[in-house]
A and B are shown apart, each in its own frame.
Chain A
Amino acid sequence: MHRDNHSPIGATLTSRLPSGLLACARSDIASTHANSSLPQSTLVQLTPSGKGGGGGLQALLLPNPTPAGGSCRPASCCQHPAHGLPCAMAELPPAHGPASRAAALATACISHRHGSPGHGWVLRDVRRAHREDIDGIGHKYHLEFVLEDIFEKDSTVNCTAEVLYHLGNKKNAPDVQFTIEGELKNTDEADNAFYDRIKSLKKELEAENIPDSYGHVSPEMQPIRALAWAASGYVIWQNSTENTKYQLAQIKHVKQVKRTDEYLEFDYMILLHESVSQEIIPWQMTVLWHPQHGIEITQNSRQPKHTLH
Chain B
Amino acid sequence: MALPPTRDQVLRAVASNEEQIALLRELGEQVDLQVDFWRDPTKPGRPADLRVPFSRLQAVKVFLESHGISYSVMIEDVQHLLDEEKRTMMLSRRMERSANKFNFASYHTLEEIYDWMDTLVADHPNLVSKIQIGESYEKRPLYVLKFSTGGSNRPAVWLDTGIHSREWVTQATGVWTANKLAEDYGHDPTVTSLLDTMDIFFEIVTNPDGFAFTHSSNRLWRKTRSINAGSSCIGVDPNRNWDAGFGDAGSSSNPCSETYHGPYAHSESEVKSIVDFIQSHGNVKGLVSIHSYSQMLMFPYGYKRTPAPDHEELNELAKKAVNDLAAVYGTEYTYGSIADTIYLAAGTTVDWAYENGVKYSYTFELRDTGRYGFLLPSSQIIPTATETWPALLDILVHIQQHPY
Contacts and interface: CB of A to CB of B under 8 A. Distances in A.
Contacts of B336: 93, 96
B196 interface: no
B315 interface: no
A63 interface: no
Interface in A158-180: none
A307 B382 CA distance: 34
A305 B258 CA distance: 11
B342 A213 contact: no
Chain B interface size band reads 35 or more
B257 A104 contact: no
Interface in B173-225: 214-215, 217-220, 222
Nearest to A271: B220
Contacts of B237: 278
Contacts of B376: 215
Contact of B373 (A95, A247, A277): A247
Given A96-B334, A250-B220, A275-B294, A211 B372 contact: yes
A279 interface: yes
Interface in A77-111: 93, 95-97, 104
Contacts of B258: 277-280
B332 to A, nearest CB: 6
A125 B259 CA distance: 27
B342 A96 contact: yes
A242 B338 CA distance: 18
B370 A247 contact: yes
A276 B249 CA distance: 12
Contact of A122 (B332, B371, B375, B377): B371
Interface in B135-163: none
Nearest to B166: A280
B334 A277 contact: no
Contacts of A250: 219-220, 375
B81 interface: no
A124 interface: yes
Contacts of A309: 217-218
B107 A214 contact: yes
Contacts of B371: 122, 148, 150
Nearest to A306: B232
B114 interface: no
B374 A97 contact: no
Nearest to A273: B373
Chain A interface size band reads 20 to 34
B397 interface: no
Interface in B68-118: 106-107
A44 interface: no
Interface string A207-220: 00001111110000
B119 interface: no
Contacts of A150: 371
Nearest to A209: B219
A215 B343 contact: no
Contacts of A277: 252, 257-259
A237 to B, nearest CB: 15
B375 A123 contact: no
B228 to A, nearest CB: 15
Given A96-B336, A277-B259, A211 B220 contact: no
A249 B257 contact: no
A1 interface: no
Nearest to B256: A305
A137 B217 CA distance: 45
Nearest to B215: A213
A301 B257 CA distance: 20
A268 to B, nearest CB: 16
A123 B215 CA distance: 29
A278 B256 CA distance: 12
A95 B369 contact: no
A308 interface: yes
B342 A97 contact: yes
Contacts of A211: 372, 375, 377
Contacts of B220: 249-250, 271, 273, 280, 308
B343 A276 contact: yes
Interface string A123-143: 111000000000000000000
8 contacts: A96-B340, A97-B343, A213-B215, A215-B372, A215-B375, A215-B377, A271-B220, A308-B218
Top 10 closest A-B pairs, CB basis?
Answer: A215-B377, A95-B334, A278-B258, A247-B370, A122-B371, A215-B375, A213-B219, A211-B375, A280-B220, A215-B376
Given A250-B220, A278-B222, 19 more contacts: A95-B334, A95-B341, A96-B341, A96-B342, A122-B371, A123-B369, A123-B370, A124-B332, A213-B107, A213-B214, A214-B375, A216-B377, A247-B370, A249-B374, A273-B373, A277-B258, A308-B220, A309-B217, A309-B218
